[in-house]
Structure 1
Amino acid sequence: MANSTDITSSSLGDDYAVRRASTPPAVAPPAADPPAATADDPGLPLGQNLVEQASVITPAVTPRTANTVGVSIVGEDDEYIALVQIGTPPREFKMIVDTGSADFWVGSETCTVPQPAGRAPLGCGNHPFLGPKSSTSFREVTGSRWTGSYTTGQMAGTLVTDNVKVGPLVLLNHPFGVAKTLTQEITELTCDGIMGLGQSSLARQRGQLSIVDSLVKQRVIAKPIVSIKMSRLLDRKNDGQVTFGGLDPTKFNPKTLVTVPNVSRLGLWEAPIDSVTANGRTITFAGGARTALMDTGSSINAIPRADATAIVTALGGQTDPTDGEFVLPCNTRAQLAFTIGKQAFTIDTRDLIVENPGAVACAMTLLPQTLSDSHGSPNGWVLGAPFLKNVYLSLDSQANTIGLAKLI
């Protein structure tokens, strides 16, 4: 969920619905791109069909590595959530793991959904909420105002402090946002909030530290490093996890580990791309080098149309004439690889398409999308779960670097 200057993944789910076609469409002129994604946008929102699937949660196995919390799968790799305990007594919240934002937030006990004039506000859905009634350690920061804006809706509330437990790690009086108003679309999501893993400079409210920086400040971990392994439902391993303070060497091949500078000026995690190959052929892009945001909160790869079309054409894909999005044969064996830090990382063919049993053509997880200037780079892309399920990702705020390695 990459964040806007005021912000799922993520992204609060990916709202550009991935179409399911039964026959290969004829190639049509490109349709207009979807609305621009912004750097505070928690992802590209889920279509209605994916929202319905997303009610099913596949729990993660309990990690054996220190300073680590499991990451469960929502739907068919639609969202990735960690179970986080907040308050006194502690209660469990389902939090999207989002490297595309830095905010940590949940809903308030007084949360409502505003309605048109003359109609009473609605409640905020079937979620746990936080406030002084449920937590004796809850404190509201006097005079604070906290807001968020996502492609799926908006929220507003205040900055608070309370105790937070992420896996085995305990934070006392961690500052974060509590939403007192939400738009209806957000209340219908599976998650109860977001755990942003971007840098603190990306957070919306002065004084709000990222969860990683807060762990370092309270000396719970020594280094501001967070490392992520995202699981794939079809593999049935359910071994997704987030490790704080270092890396888990049992999850990746150390010989393939590369470290590249984080080139984002906004507190996001943005890596330079050396090259892209489709079916073994290097693709040439006009206008200079490309970069990509590493966004665990997004369930798609979002790339501007000209670049995306070049990739899809090289893969043997086509454009759906009804919406301008891309499809590949459902039995495709296409190979797509991104070279970063002189190391090629190949996307599993299963992650290139949305499975549609019985269909001939399947929607791609690569969507054409114009990225707004708040991305920080005119040639920037967003690489979400379809790419990140294929790598081990490590983010170091102190060194301002991004580490990538092949999984084992």
Structure 2
Amino acid sequence: MMRVLAVFLQLTLWAASAHAFTLFVPEFQCGPTGECGGPKRQAGSVGERSDVLTLDLVARPRDADHASATYDPIERAIGNVARKYGRYGVSRAIMDAELGRRENTYAVSKPLTPTTSNSAGVYQWGPDYSYFIQVKVGSAQQPFYMLLDTGAGNTWLMDKKCTEEACTLHNRFDPSTSSSFKSENKHFFVEYGTGNLTGIIGDDKISFAGKTFDFEFGLANHTADDFKFFAFDGILGLAMSDSVTGTFLQIQKQKKSLDKMIFGLSINRDADGINDGQVTFGGVDPAKYTGEISYLDVPSAQKSRGEWVIPLGGISYNGKKAKLTAKYGVIDTGTSFIFASPGDADALHENVPGSQVEVHTYYKDYFVPCDITTPMIFTFGGKQYEIPAKDWLGKVSDDKCKSRIYGMNGYEDTWIMGDVFLKYVYTVFDADNGTMRIGFAAKAPPPKTATTTAGGASSTSADPSKPIMPGFGGGQETSGTADPATTAAADSRPGGIIPSGLRTPKTPRTPNRVRFDLTPTIVTNGRFPDGVSNDDTHHHARESFDLDEDDYLSAGGNHDRERGGSRGEGRVPLLTGIEAPSVTVANTFGEHGEDVDSWAAAERARPKSDLSSAFMNMANSIIGAGIIGQPYAFRQAGLLAGTLLLVVLTVVVDWTICLIVVNSKLSGATSFQGTVEKCFGKPGLIAISVAQWAFAFGGMVAFGVIVGDSIPHVLTAIWPDLRAMPVWGLLADRRVVIVVFTLGVSYPLALYRDIAKLAKASTFALVSMGVIVVTVVTQSLLVDPKEKGEIKGGEGWVVNAGVVHAIGVISFAFVCHHNSLLIYGSLERPTIDRFSKVTHYSTAVSMFACLLMALSGFLTFGDKTQGNVLNNFPADNTMVNIARLCFGLNMLTTLPLEAFVCREVMLNYYFPGEPFNMSLHLIFTSSLVFSAMVLSLLTCDLGTVFDLVGGTSAAAMAYILPPLCYIKLTTKSWRTYVAWAVAAFGTLVMIMSMFQAIGKMVTGEGETKQCY
């Protein structure tokens, strides 16, 4: 029965895998003509897209009140990664036409032509949602729109090689058309909440503001899906922080392209009926402001990080000054609205009559009556700046308006002053002569002429459903614990807002964050993110990933500000969007909407693992039941072949474990399941779910069997008369031992939500395995010669016919891929570098232990070596009995690790994105442990099932799925060829293991026996 069930599960896995990897083309991956996986689209088809995001141009009234600024709902971004369908490059003429088309598609408002030198007109997409300039790049002068972003120092454009929909909607730079383009092929990537941006660093001439600059910039060949909702083709980073592309102002002054490191900015208000937005580099334009410019110095701590931050004097409404905790204001052109901590936002809106608060998972909305006309007053350096009600409010219905000042977790001492504030002042950013300061002046009134869009409308009215959201330069990389499916449950009703990527220390940040100033890393020597290490990665202050410093999530205070700023924007890990899947579902509010601060405090208290604890968990996942079978694997393969297999498979497993985390980062998913689903759709999800669940559940059953087969023998060896003892005699019965120890030890451990709490149990388990290895090594030297076996000829010493079987046994021992993201998420500071260290140490120690066990057992027992090498030793050997006891107890602490995996597979498949539910947690955990216990009571021998499920499921998880996902998510390189080779190897092992198991079924060899 067990064998038939296992075959059924495996056939299901095969069917799903075949569909996922050969036939499945999701609808969203099909071309606009309906062709799926067909020919690439031809050049010149830019304007022929049928699925392009088209927004109608609407003439907006110009009356004085804020009724004209109807507030459209802010919907969350969709999808993470679009399929890479091909599209050839386009000519310069086509690109010019594309800009014109996009001005209609996205309702881009053209600015007036500047009359001041070194100035560029600022385009607007909105109304009032993002501001960008037109630049021309390379010797061919290819035109692009670039977002002006004072919150980041990185400059990049989309590359021609990027064929995702987010790129094909925009102009892409073609280096082959520019004779002045240079590149050393240094790779970089930027982490986003719902995806990422990867590419290379290039150098070329960029022309704007009447000048031509020679400058390094990133070329993105992979972008997050969010970019298809925006009109710009890249970002011009204007922060002073170090970045992978260099600090623009500093570099241009050094090259004498600019006389001064200063620029003045005036952005327009759409309702004024004229787009006179302008940015002036190297100075200011007196025609754009009236009166004097009032300057404030950037505080020394923020200056050292190159941040445009100034002291905040206060905020008042109708003469009532709000009691704020914030001390600073970030002046960020890359943010649409104004953001503060929930406490500060509450304090401000308490002064507004009739205001009502609506609490969401990560932020707060504030609704007020629409008849309010009182402005908000912001104070900087003793000067007051007025924001009229028509702009700090947006209309939701006839009698209900929403504040554009949001309360968001993570802003304890900082306000983010976005475009809602900046469009009412002329702003000067001055970093010249060793200083760093920001100046404000009253804006000059706009001219009395009309502004037109490319379509001739007198105003712009783009869909504001995708505004630029808050963040700070590189430091504010998203670190959410929920994937897009998780956050989909947050708020989809009208008026919802995409939560920010920011958070207080050790509280989750949502991945649905639309902000494009996140930290990149330069990876030199042609190394891609999967090969990141401290030896070949250039880390940059603030806009870098310092992978090995103290906990970047530590609570604030001076230490926090010194390391990452007052807003917790310290150097963050390469991959921060993943928590342990066991806690992912808990990172949204419960059904009754608990208090934000209480929830955040509880999340901060969640246990995490340091490197040593994570090592214990991973090593325990590897050095489990499989280590006992390593001598048997050498018997099957031969001594030389077995040794080579063990070493090579260790290296491959090490690589694919790390690849799972890299793939998760590339896809934006937060689980192994989610990554495969992103790559191969629903069939992929089914395939990985079946593989993970079958492997983990099979391990649970096996561990129960081992407990029943080892502990009773140990107890009877210690107390020969145990069976005759009243009550205690029950412990001589394997079934009683399985029930007592499983329910008394494994079940309570499996009830934990956090895998970090198993670190101590894992430490004990590792100590136990050490005892087992030492026992086999030492006692094998003392074995009676009559008990020893022989190693015959070339089959024994070199290579034997059972190589494939040996691969299955070794793979079963080393596969812990289903636990990898659990362990990654349990790290205090989850970074690829730190996780790689854990993986390398764990696999190396495990290989050494397995090799020692295999050599000691096989060289002693030769052709007599059994699947459980402990069974080769006499039953009265005291030290071996102690090892058997340790082995049984080790299985009790390893079983919960597999239960964690089974539970998360079921939750992620059946209840994706659901908040934590204690009832489901208890039901799933209990059903898993009890069902595994029952099966272990019914059978004593699961060898054939291990051959079938372990050999094939382990191969799928270790050798097939990770490399196939990597191939799907990255561009072609030598690494993809290695990935293809590993995937082919895994497929071969899977097929041969399958036929071996079926052959045993047909012949009746190795039939399982029942235990009564």
TM range (shorter): 0.7 to 0.9
Query: Alpha carbons of 1:151 and 1:237: their partners in 2 closer, same or farther (altered >3 Å)?
Result: farther
Would the aligned equivalents of 1:202 and 1:268 in 2 still touch at CA under 8 Å? no
Task: Give the Å deviation of 1:348.
Answer: 2.1
Task: Give the Å deviation of 1:148.
Answer: 1.5
Task: Give the Å deviation of 1:301.
Answer: 0.4
- Where does residue 197 of structure 1 map in the other structure? 238
1:258 partnered with 2:294: yes
Matched-pair identity in %: 26
Would the aligned equivalents of 1:171 and 1:214 in 2 still touch at CA under 8 Å? no
- Where does residue 316 of structure 2 map in the other structure? 277
- Where does residue 338 of structure 1 map in the other structure? 378
Q: Calculate the TM-score normalised by the size of structure 1.
A: 0.78
- Where does residue 404 of structure 2 map in the other structure? 365
Query: Alpha carbons of 1:252 and 1:56: their partners in 2 closer, same or farther (altered >3 Å)?
Result: same
Higher relative contact order (CA 8 A, sep 6+): 1
Would the aligned equivalents of 2:308 and 2:330 in 1 still touch at CA under 8 Å? yes
Query: Alpha carbons of 1:344 and 1:152: their partners in 2 closer, same or farther (altered >3 Å)?
Result: farther
Distance, in Å, in 2 between the alignment partners of 1:55 and 1:49 is 18
1:407 partnered with 2:450: no
Distance, in Å, in 2 between the alignment partners of 1:54 and 1:79 is 15
CA displacement 1:237-265 (0-9 Å, x = unmatched): 2011111011111111233x211111224
Would the aligned equivalents of 2:166 and 2:225 in 1 still touch at CA under 8 Å? no
Task: Give the Å deviation of 1:68.
Answer: 0.5
- Where does residue 394 of structure 1 map in the other structure? 428
**Equivalent of residue 210 in structure 2, options 168, 181, 185:** 168
Query: Alpha carbons of 1:355 and 1:166: their partners in 2 closer, same or farther (altered >3 Å)?
Result: farther
**Equivalent of residue 252 in structure 2, options 186, 194, 215:** 215
1:76 partnered with 2:127: yes
Distance, in Å, in 2 between the alignment partners of 1:235 and 1:49 is 29
Structure with bigger strand share is: 1
Residue identity matched to 1:228:
L
Where 1:139 maps in the other structure, the secondary structure is coil
Query: Alpha carbons of 1:140 and 1:303: their partners in 2 closer, same or farther (altered >3 Å)?
Result: same
Query: Alpha carbons of 1:151 and 1:332: their partners in 2 closer, same or farther (altered >3 Å)?
Result: farther
Residues 112-127 of structure 1: matches in 2 within 5 Å? 112-113=163-164, 124-127=167-170
Where 2:213 maps in the other structure, the secondary structure is strand
Would the aligned equivalents of 2:323 and 2:348 in 1 still touch at CA under 8 Å? no
Would the aligned equivalents of 1:101 and 1:202 in 2 still touch at CA under 8 Å? no
Where 1:253 maps in the other structure, the secondary structure is strand
- Where does residue 142 of structure 2 map in the other structure? 91
Please list every run of 5 or more consecutive structure 2 residues that lacks an aligned counterpart in the other structure: 1-72, 79-101, 445-1012
Would the aligned equivalents of 2:330 and 2:416 in 1 still touch at CA under 8 Å? yes
**Equivalent of residue 184 in structure 1, options 225, 248, 260:** 225
Distance, in Å, in 2 between the alignment partners of 1:211 and 1:337 is 33
Would the aligned equivalents of 1:145 and 1:159 in 2 still touch at CA under 8 Å? yes
Residue identity matched to 2:438:
I
Task: Give the Å deviation of 1:137.
Answer: 1.8
Residue identity matched to 1:310:
A
CA displacement 1:78-98 (0-9 Å, x = unmatched): 111111111121011111111
**Equivalent of residue 356 in structure 2, options 318, 341, 364:** 318
Task: Give the Å deviation of 1:193.
Answer: 0.5
- Where does residue 297 of structure 1 map in the other structure? 334
1:103 partnered with 2:142: no
Task: Give the Å deviation of 1:149.
Answer: 2.6
- Where does residue 116 of structure 2 map in the other structure? 65
Task: Give the root-mean-square deviation of aligned CA atoms.
Answer: 2.4
Residue identity matched to 2:262:
I
- Where does residue 184 of structure 2 map in the other structure? 141
Query: Alpha carbons of 1:338 and 1:123: their partners in 2 closer, same or farther (altered >3 Å)?
Result: closer
Residue identity matched to 2:221:
K
1:48 partnered with 2:52: no
Distance, in Å, in 2 between the alignment partners of 1:84 and 1:48 is 30
Residue identity matched to 2:219:
V
Distance, in Å, in 1 between the alignment partners of 2:77 and 2:374 is 24
Distance, in Å, in 2 between the alignment partners of 1:361 and 1:150 is 34
Task: Give the Å deviation of 1:151.
Answer: 4.2
- Where does residue 39 of structure 1 map in the other structure? none
Task: Give the Å deviation of 1:345.
Answer: 0.7
- Where does residue 26 of structure 1 map in the other structure? none
Would the aligned equivalents of 1:88 and 1:163 in 2 still touch at CA under 8 Å? yes
Would the aligned equivalents of 2:198 and 2:221 in 1 still touch at CA under 8 Å? yes
1:128 partnered with 2:128: no
Structure with bigger helix share is: 2
Query: Alpha carbons of 1:54 and 1:369: their partners in 2 closer, same or farther (altered >3 Å)?
Result: farther
Where 1:110 maps in the other structure, the secondary structure is coil
Residue identity matched to 1:332:
I
CA displacement 1:291-316 (0-9 Å, x = unmatched): 01001111110101000111112123
Distance, in Å, in 2 between the alignment partners of 1:346 and 1:163 is 40
Distance, in Å, in 2 between the alignment partners of 1:387 and 1:54 is 27
Task: Give the Å deviation of 1:190.
Answer: 1.5
Where 2:162 maps in the other structure, the secondary structure is strand
Shifted more, 83-92 versus 124-133: the winner is 124-133
Residue identity matched to 1:176:
F
Larger radius of gyration: 2
Where 1:314 maps in the other structure, the secondary structure is coil
Where 1:393 maps in the other structure, the secondary structure is strand
Would the aligned equivalents of 2:209 and 2:281 in 1 still touch at CA under 8 Å? no
Distance, in Å, in 2 between the alignment partners of 1:270 and 1:321 is 28
Residue identity matched to 2:350:
T
Would the aligned equivalents of 1:54 and 1:76 in 2 still touch at CA under 8 Å? no
Query: Alpha carbons of 1:182 and 1:355: their partners in 2 closer, same or farther (altered >3 Å)?
Result: same
Q: Calculate the TM-score normalised by the size of structure 2.
A: 0.32
CA displacement 1:175-216 (0-9 Å, x = unmatched): 1111111122223421101111111x242x1xx223322321
Would the aligned equivalents of 1:371 and 1:381 in 2 still touch at CA under 8 Å? no
- Where does residue 12 of structure 1 map in the other structure? none
Where 1:158 maps in the other structure, the secondary structure is strand
- Where does residue 353 of structure 1 map in the other structure? 393
Number of residues paired by the alignment?
A: 340
Would the aligned equivalents of 1:278 and 1:337 in 2 still touch at CA under 8 Å? yes
Would the aligned equivalents of 1:96 and 1:194 in 2 still touch at CA under 8 Å? yes
Distance, in Å, in 1 between the alignment partners of 2:394 and 2:139 is 42
1:381 partnered with 2:415: yes
Would the aligned equivalents of 2:146 and 2:232 in 1 still touch at CA under 8 Å? yes
Distance, in Å, in 2 between the alignment partners of 1:395 and 1:368 is 27
Residue identity matched to 1:272:
P
Residue identity matched to 1:217:
Q
Task: Give the Å deviation of 1:108.
Answer: 1.0
Residue identity matched to 2:400:
A
Distance, in Å, in 1 between the alignment partners of 2:379 and 2:115 is 31
Please list every run of 5 or more consecutive structure 1 residues that lacks an aligned counterpart in the other structure: 1-45, 114-121, 373-377
Task: Give the Å deviation of 1:331.
Answer: 2.8
Shifted more, 393-402 versus 292-301: the winner is 393-402
Distance, in Å, in 2 between the alignment partners of 1:92 and 1:226 is 22
Residue identity matched to 1:93:
F
Residue identity matched to 2:439:
G
